Amino acid sequence: MSLKPAAAGAGITFRRSDLGIDIPANLAHLGPTQVLQTTLVKGQATVDTVEHLLSALRGLGIDNVVVELNQSEVPIMDGSAAPWVYLIQEAGVKELSAPRKVLRVLRAVTVERGEKSISIYPSDTFKISYAIQFDHPMLRSQKKTLEITEASFIDEIAPARTFGFLKEVEMLRQRGLALGGSLDNAVVLGETGVLNPLRFDDEFVRHKMLDVIGDLALVGHPIAGHVSVQRGGHALHAELASELMRQTESWTLVDASAPAGQRVPVVSTVVA
């Protein structure tokens, strides 16, 4: 899999080199179900688990890139966005002369699904408040609010790994799924505790914040707005992105203050 620079205004595109099909990373190509992961679809071509890479690209301010891969799944790496951040930083980033546009939220947009809810409010910066709640002795409830900058993303969000429950992993494996899952690419919770060491005491909610950054990247622009989530997941994140795009009077596109130029990565390759 390779990350290659793209022209100004091109956005993020996943290229299935084995099929000769390009899939733009936008809501028009969002797959029909978004439960455990985010999937993009174009015709018979799909790209699965795009959320962590999209989160890294948005967190590092990458506007235009071609993600070329010869399979349907983006490598899970260690279950976080940190490996992508490292590889992009090692390759380098080039700033273009074309100005960057930011989607500035003008009025609140909310989606509610029972006990789950997600909203976005006007804000001068991109900020996330996330709250989760699970019936597990090691998890229960966690909440966190953070302004998302390149520095805060790298230090506080990117290293947070995906998580799951041991009983769910076992059920998936019985169905022939999650066969590559291990303690090397996820935090796994058993009946009474965590089976591998945590990177943060609140790593679970931090990873949810990582996910929503990646899912909201599908709107196609950096966002100036305050996202607030209660018991969210990929499907709810996608619903907010779609509703935000539908309510065109709730936002406007403005020139970014600094850095002003769009950014692309220098070529970076992952073998997985």
The answer to whether residue 252 sits within a structural domain is yes
Model pLDDT, residue 270: 63
The answer to whether residue 158 sits within a structural domain is yes
Residue 186 CB neighbours (<10 A): 21
The answer to whether residue 221 sits within a structural domain is yes
- Rounded to whole angstroms, the Cα distance separating 116 from 112 reads 6
- Rounded to whole angstroms, the Cα distance separating 176 from 265 reads 36
- Rounded to whole angstroms, the Cα distance separating 50 from 1 reads 13
Which tokens is 107 given? Answer: 């009025």
Q: List alpha helices for 203-253, DSSP H.
A: 203-216, 234-246
Cβ partners under 8 Å of residue 205, min gap 6: 130, 131, 132, 142, 143, 144
Model pLDDT, residue 6: 95
Which tokens is 216 given? Answer: 């909201």
The answer to whether residue 8 sits within a structural domain is yes
Which tokens is 220 given? Answer: 């196609």
Cβ partners under 8 Å of residue 263, min gap 6: 60, 61, 62, 63, 64, 93, 94, 95, 96, 100
Model pLDDT, residue 271: 54
Which tokens is 59 given? Answer: 């967190």
- Any idea what the Cα angle at residue 51 is, between residues 30 and 72, rounded to 5°? 70
Report the CATH number that the domain containing residue 108 is assigned in CATH: 3.30.1700.10
Cβ partners under 8 Å of residue 78, min gap 6: 161, 184, 185
Radius of gyration from C-alpha coordinates of the chain: 18
Cβ partners under 8 Å of residue 232, min gap 6: 116, 118, 130, 132, 208, 212
Model pLDDT, residue 257: 79
Burial profile 95-119: b = 16 or more Cβ within 10 angstroms, e = fewer: ebeeebbbbbbeeebebeeeeebbb
Segments forming the whole domain that contains residue 26? 2-267
Model pLDDT, residue 106: 98
The answer to whether residue 179 sits within a structural domain is yes
Total number of domains constituting the chain: 1
The answer to whether residue 272 sits within a structural domain is no
Which stretches in the chain have pLDDT values below 70? 167-183, 258-260, 268-272
Using one digit for the tens of pLDDT, what is the confidence trace for 150-184? 999 999 999 999 988 776 665 555 555 444 556 67
Work out whether the CA dihedral 156, 182, 12, 234 comes out positive or negative: negative
Model pLDDT, residue 177: 43
Work out whether the CA dihedral 95, 98, 99, 104 comes out positive or negative: negative
The answer to whether residue 237 sits within a structural domain is yes
Model pLDDT, residue 86: 96
Model pLDDT, residue 184: 79
Using one digit for the tens of pLDDT, what is the confidence trace for 27-50? 999 998 777 899 999 999 999 999
The answer to whether residue 202 sits within a structural domain is yes
Query: Which residues are known to be catalytic?
Result: 234
